[in-house]
Structure 1
Amino acid sequence: MKLFFTIVLACTCIAGGSCLQCFTCSAVSDPCTLDITTCLSTITNCQTVSSQTITFLDESDFETISRIDQRCEVPSEDFSLRTGRVFISQNIHLCSSDRCNDQTEAEPANNTRNGLQCFGCFNSSTESCLANQQRVDCVGRQNRCVDGKGRQRLLPIGSNMVLKGCATTNLCELGVDLRAFSLLLSEVSCCEGALCNGDRGSTTTADPGRQRQDMIVIIIVLIVIAAFSIISLLVLVWRWGKRAVDPPAQRWAVGQLRYHDSAGSDMEPELA
């Protein structure tokens, strides 16, 4: 059957001109071995798909899985999701010449912060998600804050999943198939603006790194206030001490001088 398909494809390419040739390969966390394939006459691009999944069991225990797929172009698109405990991304690169997709390792994901922050969590229920949510810095093209529900096989929390985090716009429309990433979203809603996906009155867990930075700033401010207070107190003590140690004789002499000035003005002879 495969031989028959190859013969038909070759005849089609001969009849209609030349068909594009692309490399094919697939590998997880390792370089892939390239093979050559001839694409259908309707395909004009070779495609490289680089994807990455990072899962955090805690702050120090995490796993990174990178995958590369080389092929003739099929419908696909870039996307990215970050919840604090889970990060997934997919990047598509196209080229249009024969065997142009010769990359053997996945491209690294875009982890450049873009200034947007959203609340993030990834738990088995709404209650546990709200109780453990934290602020998440969005990266790359993530331009929406997201709330979602569905099923998962990424973390040992059971199959049901509730999430909050940062996402690219296309994830907000349930238009991206995430089953290859062990995720299946059944509900999703997105909003624009910093921290717009937070529930009022809910308990939030601050990001540890940001919490340490805030604590350092508070300590510095307290030190500056304390130093200013100590300096002001020392200046007051110095002024009070200077007045207290003036010699009595000096004060008496000043008084006598004022007395003589007063007496001398009374005894001054009148002019004729």
Structure 2
Amino acid sequence: MHVAVMVTSVCVVVACALKCYECTPDLSGSCTQTTKECPSNTQCRSARLTSYAGSTKAEVKMKSCAAAEECVQASVNFGVTETLLTSKCCTSDLCNSQDAPEGLSSPNGKKCFQCDGNGCTKTLNCNGNQDHCISTTMSAGGQKVTLKGCASKLICSGMQSAQFAAITGAEISCCQGNLCNGASSTTVGLLLFVTPLISLVLFC
């Protein structure tokens, strides 16, 4: 009894480290689960990144220690491609044994313009937490490439936009309101190229 009280008191004073499962996927998407003693003021996290490109689905799962601000849900949808990130965090030893749930991809009533081979006048139904319209423009092969679609608030935050710009050289603009991202015609391409880049941004 006294020993238990002493241990508890010591843990309160020195903030006993939290132990979490850690699993960082390799290039093939697989990983070996280990345990890790986490830094103070962190939690255990399970995360799942799911990307859709037409009928193709790719999924990556990971586990780690994480700061509270990394326990997020985010998604971006360009119509032909959609990427969803879900996270589940907890605060007891090895509590992240379960995988994070799959992201919601059901329509939420909001609409944004998307681009296809004929321009950017097609409308797209936004899903889940996608409450912003997004436009991204980058240079590729000497020409401007523009993508439009739906995105969650996190994707449009200053930090994520800055990371995306640093990695891809792309410009990002977001707005709120149905079809607020304009329908101007433009050169379109590289839809499948963008998905892994957004995946990288989400895990930074």
Per the TM superposition, whether the score is higher than 0.5 is: yes
Query: How many angstroms apart in 1 are the aligned matches of 2:53 and 2:156?
Result: 21
Structure in which a larger fraction of residues adopt helix: 1
User: Which residue in 2 is equivalent to 1:69?
Assistant: 62
Q: Which amino acid in 2 is paired with 1:164?
A: K
User: Which residue in 1 is equivalent to 2:76?
Assistant: 81
Equivalent runs, 1:23-34 vs 2, <5 Å: 23-27=21-25, 33-34=32-33
TM-score, length-normalised on structure 1?
0.53
Equivalent runs, 1:113-192 vs 2, <5 Å: 113-121=107-115, 131=119, 133-150=121-138, 161-176=145-160, 184=168, 186-192=170-176
Q: Which amino acid in 2 is paired with 1:37?
A: K
Distance 1:161 1:63, change over 3 A: farther
Matched-pair contact (CA < 8 Å) for 1:174–1:188: no
* Higher CA-based Rg: 1
Give the alignment partner of residue 20 of structure 1, picking from 2, 18, 26: 18
Quote the RMSD (CA, aligned, Å).
3.4
TM-score, length-normalised on structure 2?
0.68
Quote how far apart the aligned CAs of 1:148 are.
Answer: 1.1
User: Which residue in 2 is equivalent to 1:97?
Assistant: 92
Q: Which amino acid in 1 is paired with 2:45?
A: Q
Give the alignment partner of residue 104 of structure 2, picking from 102, 110, 114: 110
Query: How many angstroms apart in 1 are the aligned matches of 2:120 and 2:150?
Result: 16
Distance 1:161 1:64, change over 3 A: farther
Distance 1:178 1:113, change over 3 A: farther
Matched-pair contact (CA < 8 Å) for 2:131–2:176: yes
Q: Which has the higher contact order (CA 8 A, sep 6+)?
A: 2
Q: Deviations over 1:1-22 (max 9, x none)?
A: xxxxxxxxxxxx8x82521000
User: Which residue in 2 is equivalent to 1:227?
Assistant: none
Matched-pair contact (CA < 8 Å) for 1:20–1:43: no
Q: Which amino acid in 2 is paired with 1:67?
A: V
Query: How many angstroms apart in 2 are the aligned matches of 1:178 and 1:68?
Result: 25
1:163 counterpart SS class? strand
- Structure 1 vs Structure 2: percent identity of aligned residues? 28
Query: How many angstroms apart in 1 are the aligned matches of 2:161 and 2:155?
Result: 9
2:156 counterpart SS class? helix
Query: How many angstroms apart in 2 are the aligned matches of 1:108 and 1:199?
Result: 31
User: Which residue in 2 is equivalent to 1:249?
Assistant: none
- Name stretches of at least 5 consecutive residues in structure 1 with no aligned partner: 1-12, 57-61, 123-127, 204-272
Quote how far apart the aligned CAs of 1:179 are.
Answer: 7.5
Distance 1:97 1:158, change over 3 A: farther
Are 1:48 and 2:43 counterparts?
no
- Name stretches of at least 5 consecutive residues in structure 2 with no aligned partner: 1-10, 187-204
What is the aligned length? 171
Structure in which a larger fraction of residues adopt strand: 2
Query: How many angstroms apart in 1 are the aligned matches of 2:31 and 2:74?
Result: 23
Query: How many angstroms apart in 1 are the aligned matches of 2:151 and 2:45?
Result: 23
